[in-house]
Structures are given as structure tokens and as C-alpha cells.
Structure 1
């Protein structure tokens, strides 16, 4: 698998992991598959239930390239944010084989939920996990200025209509016949949790650095520590690394298009 994890935590405040990319080529292929609309094929290999198909689709190449590249004169933030959301989605599947996880959005600048998971406990729905995923050079500023306010807004119930629609869609896709009851159970009983995933540099790569980075989490999301998950991905040069993995994925898409034209 392309990503491995090392556990991190701050007692009583939050728990989570740091990520390490072990196989960039495998990761790039998964990103390319998602860009081409094959997220379900990637899900199967991440769940160890199947292998990636040898063939690629015969269309969708232009749209995939638009997700993986940056137009001349444009900044890379939207592309980088989308690629990081895909990586975070891959990480979430690797961390929880049984969860239902919404596939990445196929729009670079989508302003809705970054991600959403439905987790199970011994076969029963345990919680819905609201995810915020940020590729940034200023991790603490992004978390305190953007992520915490988003989580606080969800905690008030102000965006429950968005949660209902998204959770219902995921459950219906899974074939669950009683989606409405499950939605009621996990939302109206407040069985929700929060997951923040963020790129970091050496400043926030130590225990003390992570303590500063996620300061205030328990003030925004109260209750048991399982409601607060924190994930970090250490990169020396965030923009350069994401540009590199995106370029590898774009090359895979380009090669698939060439084969489709043969």
C-alpha cells in the first residue's frame, strides 16, 4: 500500500497519526484513477478485495488532466487542495476498512464538505465523521482561522441539512435499505466526530509542535477524545511535492489516453 501511519495523540485532547508515503508510483496511479472517475476501483484495492483493473476508461482524459494540472497564470492552490483531498481519502480507507467514505469531489474549488465518513462499531453505525483537509504552508493559521470555525459551525447544527443529504447519499449508494432511520440515529443523537488532516513542515512535526498546531480542538469539539482526530503529513516543500505527484498522475493519464487512441 502507498501510505503507512504512525500514531500520535495528546492525552484527553485528540488522537490521530502522521502519514508516510512509501510508494509514490502506486499513490500516483491511484490519484490518476480517481481523476478519471474510477474511485470505486481504487476503493476495492484499498479494501484488499480486488486489484486495480489493467485497463483504463476510453474517455474523461481532458477532465482528469484539468484536475491534475494548473493553467498558465493560475495559482496551484486549488489543484494542490484537490490532490491532497484524494490522498486523505486514500489514507482514510487504509485506516478504516469498514467505513463508508464519500468519494473525492471532482471539482477543484468545491466549497462544501471536504470529506465525510460513516464509521461502524460491531456492525452498527457508530458515528459520522466530518473531515477538513488542508494542503498549506501555514498549518496553524489555516487550522485556527478556517478549520476550527468550520467544525464549530457543524457542532451548532447549522449545517445539518448538508449532513443529512450527504449521509443519505452515501448510505443509499451502499445499498442500505433503512437510510432514513440511520440518518436519524447518527445525527439526531449527535453521534458525530471530526477529523482534520493537514500538511506540516518541521515546525509542527514534533510533539510540542503538534500540541501548538491542534491547540483549541477540545474547545471547539467537546466530549470524548474519539470525537477529535488529527492527521499530519510532513513535507519539506509542500508545493513542490504535490506538483511532483500530480505530474506523475498526469503522465499516467496521458499514457492511458495514448493507448486508448491506438
Structure 2
């Protein structure tokens, strides 16, 4: 497993702090490259310490992946040097947005790897393709031992931020409250039916109809952030998810939280993105 998880006790959720193992970094880069290339089977093979299969990337997949991993856009950097202040301002805004989108999508892929390791038999949505997709960042569905009934649905939110607490309280908690209130049940059910239809042995509509919705629904909130916000007294980042238990009540197992820590989150994700770009080039001969 290229990501190490260190648990910390907290009433808010089942919390772990993540770190990238230096000795496993190359493997992580390989997994991320295959995920971006939409070769999920190869990504899982590397996670499982198996050799990947040779699969040719069609069309402009590799070029598009490299573009998504590149921020800022070279043209925006040129505009930043313009003598026109308005052009400079617009370039700065675009640069900021492109970095946020690049980092957010990259962290979603990292979070997917951790989720896959935690639920190896779970049925999962693939990481997003677009940098700024709206809606849930992922679903993990776990079935009973007969692979017929839904036991758990984990709705995932993944964020990369220098100020994660503000993002959590202003964006994530309101979204979770809306889901708990039932305002997005149609979206959740649509995703579940789509996932279930990939299993020919399961009657998708019957499985959804018979599940115990309130008990089955769990939430997972994960964040990539910087070392500087660590709580020095507690020695961890658990305060980032304070209040989780008030948004999703019930057993602690219904709430999963994780924080991936970099010395500096923007620099850390930028460096990782560059390594994934080089790996994509190596795999695809771009």
C-alpha cells in the first residue's frame, strides 16, 4: 500500500492521517498514471503487487491526461507578464483556478486508492474524468455475503485545501446536511442503480428497494492539506473534521475521515502531478 494510514481516536469519526511512503512513491505514481489513463484494472494490479498488462491508450487520452495534470496553463503564465493590468488579473484568477482543479482531481485519485484498499470487494465509482465535476466525489457500495443485498453505501467527499476547516464548514457540511435531509436522494439512487447494473447477478431496482436506507448510508470525508495546520497540542489534524458527528448521527462507523498531509499541499501535489505526467509519457510513448 503506497499510502500509510495512522489512526487517531476522535468522537467525530473513524479518523486516519495519511502519508505517502517514500519507498512506495514510485508505485503510487504508477497507480495514479493508470487511473488517469482509465486503466483501472492495471491500477488495481499494481496496488496488489502484480504486473500490469500492456494496454494501448486510444485517441488523445494520454495528451488529455497530461493537460489535466498541468497547471498553470502556459498561456496564462505569458498573460501574467502582460503590461495590461486587466489581462494580468484575469490570468492570476485562471492560474489559481487551474491549480485548485488540478489538485482536487489528483487528490480524488489518491483517495480512490485508499478507499479501494479499505474495501477491496466494494463496488466503486471510478475517479472523475473532468477537473471540475460537480456532485459526489465517489461512491463505495458493499454487498452482503451472497452479493445480492446492499449492506453499506459510502458517499465520498474529497477536498484539497490550504484552509480545509473553512471548506468543510462552508461547503461539505451543508452538502451532507442536504443529503441527510433527502434533498439529493434521486441523485444517490441513480448512481446506485448504475453501479448495480454492472453486476448481472443482482436485480438493481430490487436491491435498492429493499435496502435499509438510513442504516446503509455512510459518509467519508477526506482532505489533503499542509503540515502547518496541525494542532500542536493534539499532535494531529482531527479538528479539521470537528462536528462530523452532528451532521451524521449514529454509530461512529457511519463517519469516516482522512487527512493526507504534505509539508505544503500545493507544492506537494504539484510535484506529484509532474511525476505522474512523466509516468504517463513513459507508458504511452507520448
- Kindly tell me the number of residue pairs found equivalent between the two proteins: 257
1:211-250 correspondence runs (5 A): 211-250=238-277
Equivalent position of 2:10 in the other structure: 10
Equivalent position of 1:80 in the other structure: 103
Equivalent position of 1:112 in the other structure: 135
TM-score w.r.t. the length of structure 2 is 0.82
Cα distance in 1 between the residues matched to 2:225 and 2:285:
37
Name the SS for the 2:285 alignment partner. helix
1:138-153 correspondence runs (5 A): 138-153=163-178
Q: Which has the larger radius of gyration?
A: 2
Cα distance in 1 between the residues matched to 2:52 and 2:210:
35
Cα distance in 2 between the residues matched to 1:33 and 1:239:
22
- Matched-pair contact (CA < 8 Å) for 1:2–1:24: yes
Deviation at 1:157, TM superposition (A): 0.9
- Matched-pair contact (CA < 8 Å) for 1:205–1:234: no
Equivalent position of 1:57 in the other structure: 57
Name the SS for the 2:176 alignment partner. helix
Equivalent position of 1:251 in the other structure: 278
- Matched-pair contact (CA < 8 Å) for 2:154–2:220: yes
Deviation at 1:122, TM superposition (A): 4.1
- Matched-pair contact (CA < 8 Å) for 1:136–1:198: yes
Deviations 1:150-176 (A, max 9, x none): 111110111111111111111112334
- Matched-pair contact (CA < 8 Å) for 1:128–1:186: no
Structure 2 gap ranges (5+):
77-94
Cα distance in 2 between the residues matched to 1:168 and 1:243:
36
Structure 1 gap ranges (5+):
none
TM-score w.r.t. the length of structure 1 is 0.89
